[in-house]
Structure 1
Amino acid sequence: MSALERLSRIRDVRPWGGERSDIVLDGDRIAAIVPHEVHGAPALEEPAPDGHPRGRSLDGRGLLALPSIVNAHAHVDKSWMGLPWQSYGGEGGTDGRIRHERARRDELGIPSVERTAAVLDAHVRQGTTALRTHVDVDLGIGLSGIEAVREAVGAYDGAVEATIVAFPQDGVLRRPGVLDLLDQAAAAGADHVGGLDPASIDRDPVGQLDGIFAIAERHGVGIDIHLHDAADLGAFQIELIVERTARLGLAGRVNVAHGFAVAQLPDARRRDLLQSMGELGITMTTVAPLRLPQLPLAELDAAGVGLGFGTDGIRDLWSPYGTGDTLGIAWQFARASSIVRDDDLHRVMEVATRSAAPLVGREVHDLVPGARADIVLVDAEHAMDALVRVPPRLAVVGGGRLLHEAHALTARSGREG
């Protein structure tokens, strides 16, 4: 990847739909947000104090500026994006998809740096510069998937950041040796260890969770567990997760991905379960699945349970769908949840951006001084308009560097400059 263009200022934008402003950058940080003043044609470069150029000034021409879209549940290691079309095959269900993926991934060169780079490029063009990605760890590939993801992310030289979950897609206890691999991954710097349907995949929820939580406690890493099991079975496993989080002092370090069961429980039991999760800082992530009830955002907020959106896998052996657009997932969640009021629409946009900061290891992810300069520009009136229309991302900035600039923004600048 060629050197990324550093910016010193993003001129004439409307942060969160507010007044027209300039966002002043200092390296990878937002230094200040100041009122926009018209000074004629924008300068291509602004001088540093020593008189040398330090970065281009990007003219936003009054566009809406938002923090970049956070993808809190991705699988960037296992896509066939960039290859010829792959027809859907194999059996349905979680275990059927696992078997099909294991049968074909070697012939498709998965995982690889090239496939991962293609997926990351798709995410970046859709406005994502910070993501949490699950990376398969199993007896067939060992830790090679994590190595490929790190290399592909490293090509952005810090402009894109990825939090890595060592993910046992093929099960934990049913494949002897996987717990050791997860332990090695955590020791080697993975941010989280994952789990998968402890009851229905390993058929030993206590054993799988005890093994995963022991690794997290030993290495000081987080936990992120895929939980597809429905209703009472799913809720039972969340209760086991809550118990271990409290007993081992892992508050604020545990996430439940999918968690369909939460939306399928009677009101009183759901309220009690969410309350216990919120007290321990247990978060949730969703890919807003079709044909299933959505997680109840207002109830999660009331209980203090953080939520993030993710794309899941895109164009992989599980499904041919996906563009890398997490804003599209937020739209899907809002539409499927019948969210229509301004405050609620705005809240969904917060979930897609600044509220997801902890899920990617950040204290702040917002358009405020001191925050990392991860910014997306869209042609929209305000955040609610951006959510319901899902407009193209016209410019994407990661760590103060220009990652994507659409022709539409260049043409707009040419017409209006």
Structure 2
Amino acid sequence: MEQMIIRNVRPWGADPVDVVVEGEGIAALVPATTAPAAEGVEVVDGGGRLALPGFVNAHAHADKSWWGMDWVSYGGEATTQGRIAHERAVRGRLGIPSVDATERVLREFLRHGTTAIRSHVDVDLGVGLEGIAALHEAAARLDGAVEVEVVAFPQDGVIRRDGVLDLLDRAAAEGAASIGGLDPCLIDRDPVAQLDGLFSVAERHGCGIDIHLHAGGDLGAFEYDLIIDRVRRTGLMGKVNIAHGFALGQLAGGRQEQLLQEFSELGISWSTVAPIRSAPLPWVAMRELGIGIGLGTDGVRDLWSPYGDGDLMRVALDFARLHGVRYDEDFVEVARLATSSAARYVHREVHDIVPGARADLVLLDAQNVPDAIVRAPRRALVVAGGRLVARDGEVLL
């Protein structure tokens, strides 16, 4: 078994230690030393840097980026329906999805310190399951440095396109960890049919559901109620995630509190990309109730938006700003949302700098965790699965 010692690092800003790695996992943390290592053991000098677990991107769209291509000007209407139509009209000309384009996105994630992603992958009548195959092949090219979990995502709607539910069923049968959904009221305009269809597939295959909800206010709350009811009836506790869910931060106290209690009871989690004009989430109450919150990059330079660079630390900074974070302990909690607390989004029992965890570490030139979030400095070193995979922002693979 290959061995590595990552010397003189400060996990979460604590006292310096050496991280002993065996194979893909962390074997031990020992006091920092300069003693010679045993023959054959690779030694990586951490230089006293701050060490964080590898970032976990809980909401990506790695299959649909034009990163690395010539600039693509924004076109089409700036509505959900408009973006769907524009993407369907243009993606073929850009060769989306493709293995090469997806690999370029994964490399951007990796050089910024992301070592695990949960990626929504478009599944529709035009591309079938090609995007899922492209994502798996791209990840294989990086030899598993970025571990990927697939959400088969019906970006063009579920019920309004005959055959999409069959594609989702096939994706789940072939190993997709989750199936997605999209705005049951606004896109399909038949929330009962969409949700019944999705929950039927999830029950049949034992997969999760990760559903995009953009509706605000009472309409968004109504969709939450429908999902809660179906989780109770199907017993899919702990297997449903709501992405975006903009309505939650807009609801009045009593209604919000009632929903939070039900989310907690049923293990319904949340993922957000912390858009700057959205209503802040009740994230402290969610944390106290054990409701999972994951951070994600969403799309990176795709046909929905020209923004994004794959850096989850910048998303953490946006989250901190949106929620008015000021105190050191709250900055640390935000960093945990992007790292250790996000283990559930990629089905890991533990994801941290502790013995027994996969050896995924990010080293940064920062005094402490708050300093790292506020400045988002270049990643000095990235270790993934016990291998040094990036240095000074450049992927070594």
TM-score of Structure 1 vs Structure 2, range by shorter chain:
over 0.9
Aligned positions, number: 394
Q: Is the counterpart of residue 123 in structure 1 residue 134 in structure 2?
A: no
Structure 2 CA distance, aligned partners of 1:225 and 1:8? 40
Q: Is the counterpart of residue 395 in structure 1 residue 391 in structure 2?
A: no
Structure 1 CA distance, aligned partners of 2:369 and 2:232? 37
Q: Which residue, 17, 29, 52 being the options, matches 1:33?
A: 29
Rate the CA distance shift 1:7–1:93 in 2: closer, same or farther, 3 A. farther
Q: Is the counterpart of residue 328 in structure 1 residue 324 in structure 2?
A: no
More divergent stretch after superposition (281-290 vs 156-165): 156-165
* Paired letter, 1:130: A
Aligned to 1:291: 277
CA contact (8 A) 1:191 1:221 kept: yes
Runs of 4+ in 1 over 3 A off after TM superposition: none
Structure 1 CA distance, aligned partners of 2:25 and 2:34? 24
Q: Which residue, 209, 219, 222 being the options, matches 2:205?
A: 219
Unmatched segments (≥5 aa) in structure 1: 1-5, 48-52, 409-417
Aligned to 1:13: 9
CA contact (8 A) 1:279 1:304 kept: no
Q: Counterparts in 2 of 1:360-379, with a 5 A limit?
A: 360-379=346-365
Q: Counterparts in 2 of 1:303-322, with a 5 A limit?
A: 303-322=289-308
Structure 2 CA distance, aligned partners of 1:12 and 1:303? 36
Aligned to 2:88: 102
CA contact (8 A) 1:7 1:401 kept: no
Aligned to 1:340: 326
CA contact (8 A) 2:6 2:45 kept: yes
CA contact (8 A) 1:21 1:33 kept: yes
Structure 2 CA distance, aligned partners of 1:222 and 1:7? 36
Aligned to 2:247: 261
Structure 2 CA distance, aligned partners of 1:96 and 1:357? 34
Q: Counterparts in 2 of 1:17-416, with a 5 A limit?
A: 17-39=13-35, 46-47=38-39, 53=40, 55-406=41-392
The percentage of aligned residue pairs carrying the same residue is 58
Structure 2 CA distance, aligned partners of 1:290 and 1:139? 33
CA RMSD in angstroms comes to: 1.4
* Paired letter, 1:185: A
Structure 2 CA distance, aligned partners of 1:57 and 1:252? 40
* Paired letter, 1:26: E
Structure 2 CA distance, aligned partners of 1:156 and 1:115? 13
TM-score (norm 1): 0.92
CA contact (8 A) 2:295 2:338 kept: yes
Structure 1 CA distance, aligned partners of 2:320 and 2:3? 34
DSSP-derived class of the 1:199 partner: helix
Structure 2 CA distance, aligned partners of 1:352 and 1:229? 25
* Paired letter, 2:185: A
Rate the CA distance shift 1:9–1:146 in 2: closer, same or farther, 3 A. same
Deviation for aligned residue 1:292: 1.4
Structure 1 CA distance, aligned partners of 2:147 and 2:265? 29
* Paired letter, 1:178: V
Deviation for aligned residue 1:187: 0.3
* Paired letter, 1:33: L
